[in-house]
Structure 1
Amino acid sequence: MARRPHSTQQRPPRAGAANSERQGTPPKAPVHLSPRRDPRQPETTDKIRVARIGAAHGVRGEVKLWPFTEDPMAALDYGPLETADGARRFEIESLRPAKDFLVARIAGIDDRNAAEMLRNIDLFVPRDRLPPIAQDDTFYHADLVGLSAATPDGVALGSVMALHNFGAGDVIEIALAGSDRTLMLPFTAAAIPEIDLKGRRIVVVMPAEVEAIAPAEPTERREP
């Protein structure tokens, strides 16, 4: 999820988390304008990434698991998890905390060699299996990816490509229309003052250092 608190900052989810909170005060971090990337795991709007399998743990088939949810143990609650393309499904039989990760036992994985074959697989849950979000200014990443982005004056910028968390707060990445670059901004109320899920759009206040790059033509601005 993507969460934007207007007062005390809660503990942010890990990078790639299923949700984030939009912050009221932007962090002191630079705005990045970078070449458009070719992600290994493209963002998907019908599935939420909840965890990544790490290295084998021990010799009995257990694996390290890196959670992307606010509740690290939540992967047990979602039922069978699957790869982004749905080609493989995994059932977590048990899950326990370790020092900096979780240790998971996955059904059908009984030895270290089989566990090593699962390294770096991302685990997803269908979007419709997740509950609605009760908190204000909190969003599932999948609900934000693909939204059109425009300035307050209605100048189209592009569309939301992804959300990240590199440790200093949530960052929104916008693929710029008519360009091979992306714009990465802090996911704050100052930078993103309006999010209209029904209208499939966000409003972006462009920082002064990148205001000149707005590449697209004006578009009609919808009333919230």
Structure 2
Amino acid sequence: MSPSQSTDHSSDGKDPQQRELLRVCRIGRAQGLKGEVNVYSYTDEPGRRFSPGAQLETGEGQVFTVVRSRRFKQRWILLFEGVEDRNAAEALKGRELYVEADPAKDLADEDAWYLTDLIGLEVRMAPGNTLGLPGGRKVGTIRDVLDGVAQQQLEILMDGPEAGDADGSDEDIPTGLIPFVEQLVPEVKPEEGYITIDPPGDLLPGLG
């Protein structure tokens, strides 16, 4: 699959409409003394995007080549070519890195999707969920995909008798956030119009 939300930044002077860049990660603090950095991943393909030899770039066009990578809990630790000590690593903190979007045909061939494709999908309870609710029951709609500290979060517009006011606005509809991780979001089916969730009882309003 392909990484998360897109941006119109162009790194080589081309018309941004001709070259779509997708945000992959944000560089955090240095790790150790030999140039490694922690990164907060925005991609659902970290194994591919952070593999040795992969090239990531800033919105201004500076290219970083991955020398090695490893996963630690909810984050990744990378070493980039030319970044050889802690001072150089600390200087990169806060930079966001991108890759060029995959061609639309490739996405179709791989049955892949971008995170922005999730907005508007139905949210259904997963079969055998820990709350004991009927599998397949619709409980809401994805309103947005938000950046979290360690991973994206799905903002869910919850279903319920109070959903919407007299003028059709959704301002008074309860919303909730669920981390976009496989344990809590076991199925993602954009082409079929839904995702399934298996949240703990205190995570989303109206469930439990």
TM-score (norm: length of structure 2) = 0.48
Where relative contact order (Cα < 8 A, 6+ residues apart) is larger, the structure is 1
